[in-house]
Structure 1
Amino acid sequence: MLIPSLFLTILLLCSLLLRYHIRLRKEIEGIARTTKDIRSGQLNRRYRLYTRHNYLQDLGGELNRMVDSFQAALERIRTLEDERKRMISNLSHDLRTPLTSLLGYMEALRTDPSLTEEERAAFLRIAADKGQALMTLLEQFFELARLESDGSAPELEEINLTDLLPEVVLGFYPDFTRVEITPSLDLPDKPVYARGDAAYVRRILNNLLSNALRYGTDGREIGLSLREENGLAWMEVWDRGQGIPPQELSRVFDRLYTGEASRNRNIRGTGLGLTIVKHLVEQQGGRIEVSSLPGERTVFSVGLPSLSVSRKM
């Protein structure tokens, strides 16, 4: 009786081991098939293991997370490639347009003897404007390339923003006079100090005010304000012009993105100024935000680390 019982026990154990082996093999084969599908480009496939083996569940989970990361990286690469193509296309167009116009006017000056002195003077003035637009675009493009390559670092120091903001606005006096707008300047009673690079801050405010003068003059109000909140010194440039549609707000800092307003050739920008502003702000450890109610109020807010509290101590 002992030998048959032992034999049956061994047979049962072998049967269980064989069943375990077959199930494990099927699960491993499933992992292999899914891996081949993913390798062939089917990135929507995932490992679904109905198993009680913890190590296989852990393996499947890790593989799924790896595929998720790979898919996210691939999507990012595709987005960057699309952005690169769009940037090259836009840059090519923006370079070609003023250059073609410039060459056209220069050719007319060279070959048309019937032009009057007034016409020649007008053509020269237009050609100079086109050349300046081309130079501005190239300068901004190379400035952005330098910023993105980390070729420079800001010289962070204490800045008295209460003194700096009026200086910047005063530099735009001819521009505001030309469009017959008196800028609003709202400063707190006490000085506001921030940690940053004064040259960077001037470039930021110059770009934002230029942007407001380009797109916001139809509202007849442009302003600059200063406040402190949650450890940051906030500079705000605002206008009551045409504004930015909600669907464009998330893209205003993209390279060469000029939005709906760019369709009007009279106010077309380069699409690089706000991208440069964003880089300058971030290199100083600051924040930049934008809000807009089209036709009512558009605000660009730049926050730098405040030093006013530390000065009081």
Structure 2
Amino acid sequence: MVLVLSMVVVISVTINGWQYLSRRKLDQNLHEINETLADIVSRESAEKVFIRTDEKNIQLFLIQINRLLDYNQKVRADYSKSKESLRKMLSNISHDMKTPLTVILGYGEKLKLNHKMTEKERSEIIVRLHKKTLSIIALMDKFFDLVKIEADDYAIPLSRIAINEICRKNVLEFFESLQAKDLQVELEIPEERYYILGNEEALNRILSNLISNAIRYGSDGGVFGLTLREDRKYIAIDIWDKGKGITEVHQDRVFDRLYTLDDARNPQFLGSGLGLSITKRLTEAMKGSIQLKSKPYKKTVFTCVFKRIMY
């Protein structure tokens, strides 16, 4: 009986001792984790928590902590990038608004102070004032549209639409601009009707942005083109020119929010960098994709690809 009691006591002591050592080791691990985390947070570093331990639960805990640290680092990087983009956007918009506002102010002072101005001169200045005012309104509309799109507050209902006629109509709307630039127009739009799941208003805006860019910045190549092509699964719209193009180093960034086109092509590209950002987001909202390929003075092509819907 005494032997049995002795064995029970020894076993109890052993278990208690093992539990004490385990708790002490656990406390040490948790203390080390706490100290390491506090150091990482205070220094805002991208380090991870690495602790030597045989405890399976502590190992799993460390895995989740390091996943959280990775996520936190990504959030910080995205925030920093977004903050810098916002700063650049505000700077660009401020610059773009300052120029026409200065012109408007000059015209206003001229109308106010020049009493010898003829009625014809006065009418011409009023027309210029109106044009400059519209340019400011258009810039602000782009800014607010981009904000709404990025905040998912821009309704884009999708339905089955025929894409051929939309392409023709958008080129026709730029007919006078194409003529004014003396551009040769090359269209490849099949008679067979192609259908996509899209939004006609959004597609009109996408095409309008890309066509106006090609006319404005690629007209030195002497030609404008739009090609509509398909395979059994996808529909692609190529809008191209043979102008100065976009250097390879910038091609991956032209769709970035607020990446100004003066960086992307040439010094004449002065703007807020909103048009192509809006174009990309509208394309993606219709479950499509957009890409750019450019070889200066050979061919610069913006391609929108959408999933095809059969009859």
2:41 aligned residue: 39
Contact 2:246 2:265 in 1 (8 A): no
| C-alpha deviation, 1:227, in angstroms | 1.0
1:40 partner SS:
helix
| C-alpha deviation, 1:124, in angstroms | 4.5
Unaligned runs of 5+ in 1: none
Inter-partner Cα distance in structure 2 for 1:51 and 1:187? 67
Q: How does 1:140-151 map to 2 (within 5 A)?
A: 140-151=142-153
Q: How does 1:58-207 map to 2 (within 5 A)?
A: 58-113=60-115, 123-188=125-190, 190-207=192-209
Alignment match of 1:248 (pick from 243, 247, 250): 250
Unaligned runs of 5+ in 2: none
Relative to structure 1, the CA distance from residue 8 to residue 261 in structure 2 (aligned partners, 3 Å threshold; closer, same or farther) is: closer
The count of residues paired between Structure 1 and Structure 2 equals 307
The alignment yields a C-alpha RMSD, in angstroms, of 3.2
Inter-partner Cα distance in structure 1 for 2:70 and 2:27? 25
Contact 2:156 2:285 in 1 (8 A): yes
| C-alpha deviation, 1:22, in angstroms | 5.2
Q: What's the CA shift string for 1:132-153, capped at 9, x where partnerless? A: 3212212222333343344443
Inter-partner Cα distance in structure 2 for 1:54 and 1:269? 57
| C-alpha deviation, 1:88, in angstroms | 1.7
Alignment match of 1:274 (pick from 245, 256, 276): 276
1:292 aligned residue: 294
Overall identity of the aligned pairs, in %: 32
Inter-partner Cα distance in structure 1 for 2:13 and 2:169? 94
| C-alpha deviation, 1:171, in angstroms | 1.5
AA aligned opposite 2:249: Q
| C-alpha deviation, 1:176, in angstroms | 0.6
| Mean CA deviation greater in 32-41 or 58-67 | 32-41
Contact 1:214 1:267 in 2 (8 A): no
AA aligned opposite 2:262: E
1:188 partner SS:
coil
Q: What's the CA shift string for 1:179-227, capped at 9, x where partnerless? A: 0012110123633222222222222111110111111101112110111
Calculate the TM-score normalised by the size of structure 2: 0.84
Calculate the TM-score normalised by the size of structure 1: 0.84
Inter-partner Cα distance in structure 2 for 1:14 and 1:279? 63
Inter-partner Cα distance in structure 2 for 1:138 and 1:42? 37
Relative to structure 1, the CA distance from residue 114 to residue 80 in structure 2 (aligned partners, 3 Å threshold; closer, same or farther) is: same
Inter-partner Cα distance in structure 1 for 2:154 and 2:10? 80
| C-alpha deviation, 1:246, in angstroms | 2.6
Contact 2:250 2:264 in 1 (8 A): no
Contact 1:37 1:45 in 2 (8 A): no
Contact 2:183 2:224 in 1 (8 A): yes
1:228 aligned residue: 230
Relative to structure 1, the CA distance from residue 104 to residue 228 in structure 2 (aligned partners, 3 Å threshold; closer, same or farther) is: same
Inter-partner Cα distance in structure 2 for 1:148 and 1:284? 14
| C-alpha deviation, 1:234, in angstroms | 0.9
Inter-partner Cα distance in structure 2 for 1:67 and 1:261? 35
Inter-partner Cα distance in structure 2 for 1:41 and 1:51? 25
Inter-partner Cα distance in structure 1 for 2:168 and 2:288? 21
Alignment match of 1:211 (pick from 210, 213, 235): 213
Inter-partner Cα distance in structure 2 for 1:95 and 1:303? 34
Relative to structure 1, the CA distance from residue 125 to residue 266 in structure 2 (aligned partners, 3 Å threshold; closer, same or farther) is: farther
Alignment match of 2:54 (pick from 49, 52, 55): 52
Inter-partner Cα distance in structure 2 for 1:264 and 1:127? 28
Relative to structure 1, the CA distance from residue 151 to residue 53 in structure 2 (aligned partners, 3 Å threshold; closer, same or farther) is: closer
